[in-house]
Chains A and B, each alone.
Chain A
Amino acid sequence: MSGGGGALTTGGKPKRGSSKRKTKKRVGFRIDMTPLVDITFLLLTFFMFTTTMAAPQVMEMSIPPEITEKVEVKESELLSFYVRDDGALFYAMGNDTPERIDLKNLKEVKDVSIRENLKPELENKLIIALKVAEQAPYGEVVDILDQLNQAEGVIVDKLKNEIDPATGKPKERKRRFTIAPLLPEEINLIKGL
């Protein structure tokens, strides 16, 4: 912190008579930074501990509006995922016998969705229905939705790279998805599996 002070003079020529006079050496000064650093560290610690870096994110859902009349869908174009009260997960195409998916291997949900959605005859036609029992854990439902969303990214990318012969443009993805409670007949369907 010392030095530099000597360069600041009032300017002009030094007086002849004063050459013998001893010039007083300017002494540099120090500011004690300790309190400032103390406070800074205190504030830094406070902000570090109170800040949450991981802000919550969102998963957009779009559900069908309230309708009174029944909508008929082709069996062959319906892929259903069933979640039982105990959390067990099954899937079935149309009226096929449901197959179980191991919860430790939830990635299978993504694989099934990609496989079925990309079949040429089901492209943009397949409806995915997630049927959930009342007592099934919400956390697991979101895990399944996450896998379906992951699959959606792959499907969109794949379709983008293909040209639609009708329009001559890259194919567009039309997602068809619904989430609904399990019906009594569906509960019976997966009861003993």
Chain B
Amino acid sequence: MPKVKKKRVGFTIDMTPLVDITFLLLTFFMFTAKFKSEAESEQKFTIQRPRVTPDTTTIPQNDIGIIKIAIDSATNDTNYYYELANETDRQKVWGAVKGLTDQQRTQQQLKVTPEVLNELVRDTRLVRPNTKFAIDADKRLSFKWINDAMNILRKNQATVFNFVTDKKGA
């Protein structure tokens, strides 16, 4: 007697919970995502920040001038960079510096010498006296670089500032 062939029945998996979770995660990541600033996307270096015990402090977003001291990934040279977040202030401060090209005047961040950095910090303080300052330096650098930047801030009466760090264990 021929065996009765059982008809195979296709099956469906209910994808609804999976899709629910996926949408939930997508929404979360979309709302929490913070994209790189213009200056960060243009720069040719990555700063290895020193790691400290985590706390709730965060870097101020508005009216902040950041002195970056970084090692160029291509040439291995150490340089000072200055970034000013406020666009209106930036136009005024960049406008006062001599010797900048038109392209440089549109940039959010400038590669500078200590002398120009001093001028920029001074002009930033003149344009907006309550601008906050931060030093974002690579942990591999010698202290001399940071001390020179601190002296520039001190000279311009910006005696309260921040060191940008990363969270330990993050």
Contact = CB atoms under 8 A, between A and B. Distances in A.
Nearest to B23: A40
Interface stretch (B2-10, B93-101, B103-111, B152-160): B152-160
B159 A64 contact: yes
Interface string A51-76: 11111111111111110000000000
Interface string A99-141: 0000000000000000000000000000000001111111101
Interface stretch (A14-22, A42-50, A163-171): A42-50
Given A47-B30, A135-B142, A66 B52 contact: no
Given A63-B150, A146-B53, A51 B165 contact: no
Interface residues of B, number: 51
A48 B159 contact: no
B84 interface: no
Contacts of B166: 54, 56-57
Contact of A60 (B50, B57, B170): B57
Given A50-B35, A132-B143, 6 more contacts: A47-B29, A57-B54, A57-B59, A61-B150, A64-B159, A133-B143
5 contacts: A47-B30, A56-B136, A58-B164, A135-B142, A142-B163
Interface of B: 15, 19, 22-23, 25-26, 29-30, 32-35, 49-50, 52-60, 134, 136-147, 150, 153-155, 157, 159-167, 170
Question: Which 4 pairs across A and B sit closest by C-beta, in order of nearness?
Answer: A139-B139, A47-B29, A54-B170, A142-B50
Interface of A: 33, 37, 40-41, 43-44, 47-48, 50-66, 83, 132-139, 141-143, 145-146, 149-150, 179, 181
